[in-house]
Structure 1
Amino acid sequence: MIVHILSVIAFMLVTFAAQGVSHFVINADHFASIGFLRAEPIMAMGFAVMIIQGAILSFSLQIWKGDAVQIKEGLLISLIFGAFLVSYIALTEPAKYAVPSITDWLRIELVVGFLQFGIFGLVLGWLHRRFGSEKAPKGTP
């Protein structure tokens, strides 16, 4: 179970770093120009989503590969789930809402999403490779 807890924490850290830096530092002007965003985000809801998504990714990797995880498989599953999630945000949101620039929206969401899920995938694979086997250490009853 420790590998899943560590994976969720890692997902939260990577996501908060990638999306936080994008939203509040690098692309702050872009996001400030979007009229439908809250002035004060409801952080608890964002944390809940990160916990759910991190857990789904971690358990999916374990179900798929068991204890025989390679880092590349963590990267692959994270990029697949990331493509599923980011495609909605990148393509459907500007189709529904009047974003100031569809081109900017696509560029920002696709680049940040790829970085977020790519970095997390490497971490996920490493965590499962390092901590995934919950068997008792040799020499213990």
Structure 2
Amino acid sequence: MTVTSDVARPAGGRSFWLGFAAYLLPSFPIAFVWHLVLFEQQYHALRIYRDEPVIAFGLASMVIQGAIFSWLFPRVFTRPSRSFLRDGLLYGLGVGLLSWSFTTLAVAAKNVMTSVPDYVLLETAFTILQFVVAGPLIALAWRR
């Protein structure tokens, strides 16, 4: 099997869409409540975000992420495992770390804000929560 044939391999329709939903359905409400309800004042105090966020852009971003993260899972975990929870937490750790690198570190490096440590702490906690939930759900969606 070549790398090309593995990358071009169909994702398995039902599992792909379940994995997509497993990412999107918990991630969007978690992000909405985290950023715009629970910690709205802290984010406002950082003076990094616009007063009126464009919710559609956040949702579109998560749609793209959900498609990529679901497509990627069976390519990372190629053999059946006994534990979807173990695989999901490992997967969540990997994709969460990747996500954290561009949603937390890169943003903190490029944007003016009142407190970089506060921003990094808030976004790190959010990323951990998001991927502790989404990782196992994606693994469950792809369970063989």
- Give the TM-score range, shorter chain: 0.7 to 0.9
Aligned residues between the structures: 130
Q: Give the Cα separation in 2 of the matches to 1:108 and 1:8.
A: 25
| Corresponding position of 1:127 | 141
Q: Deviations over 1:25-67 (max 9, x none)?
A: 2211011224342232222222221111111111111123347
Q: Deviations over 1:86-124 (max 9, x none)?
A: 122222222222211112111110011011011101111
Unaligned runs of 5+ in 1: 134-141
Unaligned runs of 5+ in 2: 1-12
| Corresponding position of 1:90 | 104
Percent identity over the alignment is: 28
Q: In structure 2, give the amino acid aligned to 1:58.
A: S
Q: In structure 1, give the amino acid aligned to 2:108.
A: P
Q: TM-score, normalization: structure 2? A: 0.78
Q: In structure 2, give the amino acid aligned to 1:26.
A: L
How do 1:38-49 residues align onto structure 2 when only pairs under 5 Å count?
A: 38-49=50-61
| Corresponding position of 2:76 | 64
| Candidates 104, 108, 115, aligned match of 2:122 | 108
The answer to whether residue 137 in structure 2 is matched with residue 118 in structure 1 is no
Is the 1:7–1:54 Cα contact (8 Å) retained in structure 2?
yes
| Corresponding position of 2:94 | 80
| Corresponding position of 1:22 | 34
Shift >6 Å, 4+ stretches: none
What SS does the aligned partner of 2:47 have?
Answer: coil
RMSD of aligned alpha carbons: 1.9
Q: Give the Cα separation in 2 of the matches to 1:14 and 1:105.
A: 22
| Corresponding position of 1:53 | 65
What SS does the aligned partner of 2:43 have?
Answer: helix
Is the 2:19–2:139 Cα contact (8 Å) retained in structure 1?
no
Q: Give the Cα separation in 2 of the matches to 1:6 and 1:55.
A: 10
Q: CA deviation at 1:5?
A: 1.4
What SS does the aligned partner of 2:114 have?
Answer: coil
Q: TM-score, normalization: structure 1? A: 0.80
